Amino acid sequence: MAISDAAAATGQPAHLIDNAHPARSGLGAAASAELGMDDTGAWRRGLRSTVTIDRRATDASPSGWPVPTGHRAGVTVLDLGLDADGRACRTVNRAHTVVVCRPTVPGVRLTEALLDQLGNQVVVVAAVGGRRWPGEVAASSGPRLRALRLAGQVVAVPLERRLEVTGLTGQPLPSSIQAAGRALLALLSSRRPGVALASVTTTSPGPFPGASR
């Protein structure tokens, strides 16, 4: 959500899609206005300022991705979640990828495994937690994650007590989270301008789609 909000703040059309099962979605209260189902009946649609939010409406996996009414070129943020299917994984091949992790020993190990799976794709990491990593976490980081940190491709996303209590709502994100979203968007835009964005989560992130899992 931080990325889609940042894109909308620049005047770009922004579309946020949550691929999580409805029971696991963290976006249930994130829209400021609910618009009902899309034409296929597979997605529940809402608006958050100028961001169009689509989240799955049924247990069945949708056969395709939703397209907002009057959609024009802009930024699409797709939160694949932990249980991405083949349809979702094929989408990643055509997109930027944001890997969301927590800077813990298990978190960085899981992140390294996912980075290996992503191969040579353009990747930025959103690290949910403090900017300074504990020594044992840094020591447990694999070569791909270390290289991304050295290249400035890891953005710290601070934990916010309010979001931990309330989850995502229709209210603006805290300023620190907004700043992280702007930093991520800037990195992605500089790497491959004009390409859709995809978010692949490796843990349960706080200020991103799927936060309340």
Q: What is the pLDDT of residues 147-191, one digit of tens each?
A: 999 999 999 999 999 998 999 999 999 999 999 999 999 998 887
Neighbours of 178 (CB within 10 A): 16
Average the pLDDT over 41-69 and give the result. 90
Sign of CA dihedral 109, 195, 53, 67: negative
Helices 2-9 and 175-191 pack at an angle, to 10 degrees, of: 80
Q: Do 14 and 77 touch, CB atoms closer than 8 A?
A: yes
Q: Do 144 and 117 touch, CB atoms closer than 8 A?
A: no
Neighbours of 16 (CB within 10 A): 29
What is the residue-averaged pLDDT of the chain?
84
Q: Which single residue is written with the structure tokens 């990828």? A: 97
E strands along 38-147, which residues?
43-48, 51-56, 75-79, 96-101, 123-128
**2-201: CATH architecture:** 3-Layer(aba) Sandwich (3.40)
Average the pLDDT over 105-122 and give the result. 90
Question: What ranges do the domains of the chain cover?
Answer: 2-201
**Could you please report the per-residue DSSP string of 49-80?**
TTEEEEEE-SSSPPSS----TT--SSEEEEE-
pLDDT band for position 207 (cuts 50, 70, 90): very low
- pLDDT for res 213: 31
Neighbours of 80 (CB within 10 A): 24
CA distances from 31 to 1, 45, 49, 54, 159 (A): 11, 9, 8, 10, 21
pLDDT band for position 203 (cuts 50, 70, 90): very low
